[in-house]
Amino acid sequence: MAIKSGITVHSIPGKPFGAEVRGANLEDISPTDFDTIRRALYTHSLIVIKGQNDLSPAGQYSLTRLFDPSVTTYGHGKTLDAKKSVLHPDLKTIPHQPQVQVIGNGPVDSYESLTNIRLNHPHHKTFHKTHVPESEDRDFTRFYRWHIDAALYALNPPRATTLLAVRVPKSPPQTLRYDDGSGDELSVMRGSTVFSSSETTYDLLSEEDKAFARSTKVQYHAHPYIWMSGAKSRPDGLGMESEGLELPDSELPPIEQDKILVLPMCWKNPVTGRLALQIHPAAVEKLILADGSMVEDLKEVRAIVHRLQRPGIAPERLHAVEWEDGDLAVFNNHAVLHSVTGSFDKDEVRIFRQCNLAGSEPPVGPDGVVV
């Protein structure tokens, strides 16, 4: 007789996608329970498991690895070692579990063998071309950067990311402004992580655009997070302004042509079969069309990608996680984009742990073929 899982899956009121998972022992997951968690993730794209205050870094790593058991390498590899990378200031590696990173804000005397560290919550003023005025910074925020968790050079995108809220400061919500001329706004808890369903974004496309997305491939720039370090983001965080400020190849680490990633524009869900329009809008360099020709003008590439993705980040289509201590979010990194939001005073302490692992294979394209 098959053993039935004690885990239950519940929709989250007021959210357009995502689910809450209850009854999971994440330090010791049975195969039956993991099957339930995996199916919930691929069905809902984002799951939240509350009350995980005691989950160890080793347990978080083990859970993350269950989605791709043959892998052991952190999803960005050694990108964090590159001082020019836009990722460098944001993460601290746990010494005894190097696949797990500590992120957050403020001074921390001691945490998981890290001592006397200062965490820096990403603020849009360091990445955007324009900013919310300083006088409005406590009341208003923006999406920092819409992205996929992936190195996008040499390493395949992770299948899943786990994000644990260890310590969440209590403060009033902020109004998130798109500042793109649309007038769109969203009320978010300060520091909320906001998710967009790339499957919904695909579904919103016209039939002509769906055909284009299914037949087009995306080429990412080598060392993308160093390459983009001189450039600035659009005000909605969905891709970059095109001002010629990207670093030239001569200022990047050595480039190996066979490590440049070319991925399908649509990624197929292995459980439901749904297609996701899955593009990292800040890292894209070229589009490869069905006939083999390329769109190489960076401004045009970015305009096409923004037009396709922008409907998916409309306020009513987003899931903003309202963090509490002990919340663990697991998200399908092949089917969502996400962004940090918010601003904190320099001494407001916030501690999170993040884990993802470079994939064993590239994403599956719309025809079910690994590209």
pLDDT tens-digit map of 26-57: 999 999 999 999 999 999 999 999 999 999 99
Secondary structure class of 48 (helix, strand, coil): strand
Instruction: Give me the mean pLDDT over the 262-281 stretch.
Output: 97
The angle at the Cα of 199, spanning 318 to 228, to the nearest 5 degrees, equals: 75
User: What pLDDT does residue 369 have?
Assistant: 55
- Which are the contacts of 295, defined by CB distance < 8 A and separation ≥ 6? 286, 287, 289, 301, 304
pLDDT tens-digit map of 106-118: 999 999 999 999 9
Q: Is 276 inside a domain boundary?
A: yes
pLDDT tens-digit map of 176-223: 999 999 999 999 999 999 999 999 999 999 999 999 999 999 999 999
Domain extent, residue 319, equals: 8-356
User: What pLDDT does residue 171 have?
Assistant: 86
What would you report as the CA-atom Rg of the chain, rounded to the nearest whole angstrom? 20
Q: Is 363 inside a domain boundary?
A: no
User: What pLDDT does residue 6 have?
Assistant: 86
Domain count, the chain: 1
User: What pLDDT does residue 22 have?
Assistant: 96
Q: Is 204 inside a domain boundary?
A: yes
Place of tokens 């599956």: 364
What is the C-alpha to C-alpha distance for residues 286 and 266, in angstroms, rounded to an integer?
15
User: What pLDDT does residue 5 have?
Assistant: 76
- Indicate the average pLDDT of the chain: 94
* The two structure tokens encoding residue 200: 């919904």
Rounded to 10 degrees, what is the CA torsion of 310, 315, 319, 322? 130
User: What pLDDT does residue 3 have?
Assistant: 63
User: What pLDDT does residue 370 have?
Assistant: 52
Does position 83 have pLDDT exceeding 90, yes or no?
A: no
Q: Is 174 inside a domain boundary?
A: yes
Q: Is 364 inside a domain boundary?
A: no
Residue 281 CA to chain centroid, in angstroms?
12
State the CATH number of the domain containing residue 182.
Answer: 3.60.130.10
pTM: 0.96
Ramachandran angles phi, psi of 88, nearest 5°: -55, -45
| pLDDT above 90 as % of the chain | 91
- For residue 245, count other CB atoms closer than 10 A to its CB: 13
Instruction: Give me the mean pLDDT over the 234-240 stretch.
Output: 98
Q: Is 113 inside a domain boundary?
A: yes
From 81-85, 93-97, 234-238, the region with the lowest mean pLDDT: 81-85
CB 219 within 8 A of CB 285: yes
Q: Is 255 inside a domain boundary?
A: yes
Q: Is 43 inside a domain boundary?
A: yes
